[in-house]
C-alpha cells in the first residue's frame, strides 16, 4: 500500500513538473493581437469607480493584460465621477467615445487614470493602454488621449443565412443562425472584444445581397441575441434590408417608396425591430445593382428609396447606409462613371440620417484604383467610405497583402477642392458633417484564427485603427499590430513590417501593373483571366477594361474616350488628362497607350510591364526568404502556416505573371525583353485552368 501511495505521489509530481516545463499552448491565432497575459504573480492593482457592464469589462481587460511590475495603480472611472471631475481635466472635446489616460492624483495617491465621458470611452482607453504596453510602452508614464474622427466604424458581413459567406475565405459564417437565439457561442463575445479593442462600434450581420427573411420575426430575435452580446462592448447591430421585402414578406404588390402603404410597412417593420433591439443601428441597402431590386424599378430615385427608409428608423435614432455601388448592363456608359452619374444630381436630396456609402474606387475593390470621383463631388451629403477587408481580388486568404497602404493611399488622396482630402470628406471635416462613417467588408469567418491566416488579421486591425483616425500612418499601424501579434523582438518586427509594407504593391505588380484592373477569372475572381470576353454583360469581361490590341493597351477615360476624368475636380481632371502627368501607377486606368510608349524610366511600356510582373514575383520570393529566417523566432504553428501560404503565393504569382504575359504576347506579337524568362506553359494551358468550386464564390 505504501508503495502504491509512493507511486501515485511520484506520478503526481511528474505531471506537475511536466505542466510547469511544457511549452505554452499552441499559437493557433485565435487570440489575434490580444495576446498579452498578466504574469502568474498577479496583475497590476486596478480600481474601478462606478459600476456598469462596460466599466466592468474595462477593469477585466486591464486585469487580464497589464503586467504587475508597472508599480502604479490604475483607476478606471467616468469623467463625471466626483473624484475625477474635481481634477478639472480637459475632457469636453473627447465626445462620447474619446478617452484620456494620464498619471493623476486621486484620493491622495498617485494613480494612472483612464477616463472618458462615457463608459465606452473608458473601455477604449483601457484597450489603448493595453496596446501601448504590448507595443513596448510603459504603464507608469503613459499619457494617451484620443477621440474617434469618424462616428460610425462598421464591419459589413457578407454572410448568408445558410452559413456561407460571399467573398469569404475564412470558413463559414461566424453566425450560427440555426442555433440562435438560444445558443450564444462564446466566440460572439470574443469577436466583440476584438472589435472594441480597435474601436469598431457597429456590425452589419447579413449580406448586402440580402434575403427578405432577415427581417422576419425569427431572424429579428436572432439578431437581438447578438445585439445583447455586443452591447456592453459598445457595438450596435445593423441589418442589410432587401428593398422588395414589402412584397416578399409583407404581402404588398409593390415596393415603390412613394407608395404610402410601402412607407407604412417599413415604419411598422422598424418599430418591430426596435422593440426587440432598442439600440438597433439601422439599415444598409444595396439597390438597383447587380440584379438587386430598388427604387429605380418604379421610376423613383435612390434618394426616394433611402429617405423612405430613413423616415422609418429616424424616430428611434436609426440611420440608413445607402450604397452607391450601382451599374447596369443597359447603360452603355463606362462602368466607372455610372455611380457618379446617378448620385451626383442627388446631392443635398438625402435625409439627414442617410449616409451614401461609396466604395474606395469606381470599379470594385481592385488591388489599385484611383479614388472614387464622388468623394469631393457631393458636399451636401455625408459620404461613408467602403473598403474591402476580405481580399476578393488580392489573392483571397492565402496571399500576404497588407491593405493598410491601400487604405491610406485612398484616404490621403486630394480631391482637387483646395486642400481637401478623401479622409476629410469621410470624417466630415470638409463640410462639417456630423454624421460620418467608414465601412469595411469583413474577412472574418469561423476559422480558428478568424481570418484564414495570421497576416489577414492585420487588415481587420488596420481598418479599425484607420476608421478611428484616418490620418494614422499605415507603417505605424503595421508595427503596432506586429508587436502585439508576435512580441517586441526587433529581429522579428523589422522583417515582418518590411514584408507587410511591400506586400500589396507586389500583388499589384503581378496582377495588374500601371493601373490595369479587373483582369481576374470569372465568378470566383481567383487567378488570371485577361482573355475572358464571352460573358453576357460587357462590363463583366476583363477585355472591357484593358482593351488591349495590336497597337496598345489601356482604357481611354480622357476626352477622346469615356471622359471619366471630367467627373473629378478640375485640378485632378487636368492631372489625369495627360499620360505625362498621370501617375504611372494609374497610367492604363486612364489612357490607351501604344506598347512602345516611353515611360519616365526610358523603357517602353511593354518592357516596363514585364519588369513589373517580374518584380512582383521577386518580391514574394524575397518575402519567403525573410520569413524562412524567422523560423526560430516565431511559434511553430503560425510560422508553418504562413510559410505554406507564402509558397502558394509565389507559385500563384508566377502563374499570374506567366498567364498574363502569354496573353499580352498573343495580342501584341512582341518578344519578351532580354533576360525575361518565357512563360512556363502556352496560352491554351492557362485558358484551360478551371476552378468551379473556389471558396467565396456565390452560386
Instruction: Give the catalytic positions in this structure.
Output: 290, 364, 392
Closest CA to 360 of 374, 346, 347: 374
Q: What value does the CA radius of gyration of the chain take, rounded to a whole number of Å?
A: 27
Contact 97, 118 (CB under 8 A): yes
DSSP-assigned letters across all residues of 553-599: ES---STTTT-GGGGS-HHHHHHHHSTTTS-GGGHHHH--EETTPBP
Assigned C-alpha cell, 149: 474622427
Q: What angle do CA 82, 87, 90 make, to 5 degrees?
A: 110
d(CA 325, CA 266): 23
Tell me which residue has cell 455610372.
338
d(CA 586, CA 61): 45
Cα end-to-end distance, the chain, whole Å: 68
For the chain, the 3-state helix, strand and coil shares in percent, each to the nearest 5, are 45, 10, 45
Tell me which residue has cell 509512493.
6
Closest CA to 457 of 364, 391, 516, 555: 391
d(CA 185, CA 174): 9
Q: What angle do CA 622, 625, 630 make, to 5 degrees?
A: 130
Which run of H or E residues covers position 334? Answer: none
In sequence order, what are the beta bridge partners of 48? 76
Please report how many Cα atoms fall inside a 13 Å half-sphere around the Cα of residue 308, on the Cβ side.
Answer: 26
Which run of H or E residues covers position 385? Answer: strand 383-388
Contact 664, 548 (CB under 8 A): yes
The DSSP 8-state label assigned to residue 3 in this structure reads: H
- Is residue 323 classed as helix, strand or coil in its secondary structure? strand
d(CA 493, CA 498): 8
Closest CA to 526 of 392, 620, 398: 392
Contact 296, 312 (CB under 8 A): no
**Helices (runs of H) and strands (runs of E) counted in the chain:** 21, 15
Q: What angle do CA 513, 518, 520 make, to 5 degrees?
A: 95
Query: Cβ of 453: how many Cβ atoms within 10 Å?
Result: 23
Query: Cβ of 11: how many Cβ atoms within 10 Å?
Result: 10
Strand pairing category for 109-116 and 74-78: parallel
Assigned C-alpha cell, 679: 512563360
Burial 654-676 (b: 16+ CB within 10 A, else e): bbbbbbbbbbbbebbeeebeeee
CA 363 to chain centre: 17
Amino acid at each position: 500500500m505504501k508503495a502504491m501511495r509512493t507511486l501515485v505521489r511520484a506520478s503526481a509530481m511528474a505531471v506537475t513538473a511536466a505542466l510547469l516545463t511544457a511549452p505554452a499552448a499552441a499559437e493557433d491565432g485565435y487570440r489575434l493581437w490580444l495576446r498579452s497575459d498578466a504574469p502568474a504573480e498577479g496583475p497590476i492593482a486596478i480600481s474601478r469607480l462606478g459600476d456598469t457592464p462596460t466599466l466592468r469589462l474595462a477593469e477585466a481587460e486591464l486585469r487580464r493584460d497589464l503586467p504587475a511590475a508597472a508599480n502604479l495603480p490604475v483607476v478606471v472611472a467616468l469623467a463625471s465621477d466626483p473624484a475625477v471631475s474635481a481634477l478639472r481635466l480637459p475632457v469636453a472635446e473627447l465626445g462620447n467615445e474619446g478617452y484620456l489616460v494620464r498619471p493623476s492624483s486621486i484620493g491622495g495617491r498617485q494613480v494612472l487614470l483612464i477616463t472618458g465621458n462615457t463608459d465606452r470611452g473608458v473601455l477604449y482607453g483601457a484597450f489603448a493602454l493595453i496596446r501601448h504596453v504590448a507595443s513596448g510602452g510603459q504603464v507608469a508614464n503613459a499619457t494617451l488621449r484620443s477621440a474617434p474622427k469618424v462616428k460610425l466604424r462598421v464591419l459589413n458581413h457578407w454572410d448568408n443565412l445558410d452559413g456561407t459567406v460571399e467573398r469569404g475565405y475564412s470558413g463559414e459564417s461566424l453566425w450560427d443562425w440555426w442555433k440562435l437565439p438560444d445558443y450564444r457561442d462564446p466566440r460572439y463575445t470574443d469577436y466583440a472584444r476584438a472589435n472594441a479593442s480597435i474601436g469598431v462600434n457597429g456590425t452589419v450581420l447579413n449580406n448586402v445581397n440580402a434575403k427578405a427573411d432577415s427581417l422576419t420575426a425569427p431572424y429579428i430575435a436572432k439578431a437581438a441575441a447578438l445585439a445583447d452580446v455586443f452591447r456592453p462592448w459598445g457595438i450596435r447591430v445593423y441589418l442589410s434590408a432587401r428593398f422588395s421585402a414589402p412584397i416578399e414578406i409583407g404581402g404588398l404588390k409593390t415596393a415603390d417608396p412613394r407608395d404610402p402603404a410601402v412607407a407604412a410597412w417599413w415604419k411598422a417593420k422598424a418599430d418591430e425591430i426596435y422593440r426587440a433591439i432598442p439600440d438597433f443601428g439601422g439599415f444598409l441597402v444595396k439597390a438597383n445593382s447587380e440584379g438587386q431590386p430598388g427604387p429605380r424599378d418604379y421610376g423613383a430615385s435612390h434618394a426616394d428609396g433611402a429617405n423612405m427608409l430613413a423616415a422609418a428608423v429616424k424616430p428611434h435614432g436609426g440611420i440608413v447606409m445607402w450604397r452607391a455601388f450601382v451599374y447596369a448592363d443597359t447603360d452603355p456608359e463606362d462602368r466607372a462613371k455610372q455611380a457618379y452619374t446617378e448620385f451626383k444630381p442627388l446631392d443635398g436630396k438625402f435625409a439627414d440620417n442617410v449616409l451614401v456609402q461609396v466604395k474606395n474606387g469606381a470599379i470594385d475593390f481592385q488591388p489599385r484604383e484611383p479614388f472614387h470621383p464622388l468623394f469631393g463631388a457631393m458636399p451636401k451629403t455625408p459620404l461613408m467610405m467602403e473598403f474591402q477587408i476580405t481580399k476578393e481580388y488580392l489573392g483571397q486568404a492565402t496571399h500576404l497583402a497588407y491593405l493598410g497602404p491601400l487604405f491610406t493611399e485612398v484616404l490621403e488622396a486630394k480631391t482637387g477642392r483646395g486642400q481637401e482630402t478623401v479622409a476629410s470628406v469621410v470624417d466630415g471635416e470638409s463640410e462639417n458633417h456630423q454624421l460620418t462613417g467608414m465601412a469595411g467588408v469583413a474577412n472574418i469567418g469561423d476559422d480558428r484564427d478568424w481570418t484564414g491566416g495570421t497576416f489577414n488579421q492585420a487588415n481587420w486591425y488596420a481598418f479599425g485603427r484607420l476608421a478611428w483616425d484616418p490620418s494614422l500612418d499605415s507603417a505605424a499601424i503595421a508595427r503596432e499590430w506586429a508587436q502585439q501579434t508576435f512580441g517586441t523582438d526587433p529581429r522579428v518586427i523589422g522583417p515582418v513590417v518590411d514584408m507587410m509594407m511591400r506586400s500589396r504593391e507586389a500583388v499589384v505588380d503581378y496582377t495588374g501593373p500601371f493601373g490595369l484592373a479587373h483582369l481576374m477569372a470569372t465568378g470566383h475572381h481567383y487567378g488570371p483571366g485577361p482573355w475572358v470576353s464571352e460573358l453576357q454583360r460587357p462590363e463583366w469581361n476583363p477585355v472591357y477594361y484593358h482593351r488591349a490590341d495590336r497597337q496598345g493597351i489601356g482604357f481611354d477615360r480622357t476626352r477622346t474616350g469615356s471622359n471619366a476624368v471630367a467627373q473629378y475636380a478640375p485640378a485632378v481632371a487636368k492631372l489625369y488628362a495627360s499620360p505625362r502627368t498621370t501617375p504611372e501607377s494609374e497610367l492604363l486606368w486612364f489612357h490607351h497607350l501604344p506598347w512602345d510608349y516611353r515611360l519616365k524610366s526610358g523603357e517602353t511600356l511593354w518592357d516596363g510591364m514585364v519588369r513589373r510582373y517580374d518584380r512582383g514575383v521577386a518580391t514574394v520570393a524575397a518575402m519567403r526568404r525573410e520569413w524562412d529566417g524567422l523560423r526560430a523566432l516565431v511559434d511553430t504553428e503560425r510560422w508553418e502556416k504562413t510559410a505554406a501560404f507564402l509558397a502558394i503565393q509565389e507559385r500563384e504569382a508566377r502563374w499570374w505573371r506567366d498567364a498574363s504575359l502569354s496573353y499580352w504576347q498573343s495580342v501584341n506579337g512582341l518578344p519578351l525583353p532580354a533576360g525575361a524568362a518565357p512563360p512556363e506553359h502556352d496560352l491554351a494551358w492557362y485558358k484551360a485552368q478551371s476552378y468551379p468550386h473556389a471558396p467565396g464564390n456565390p452560386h
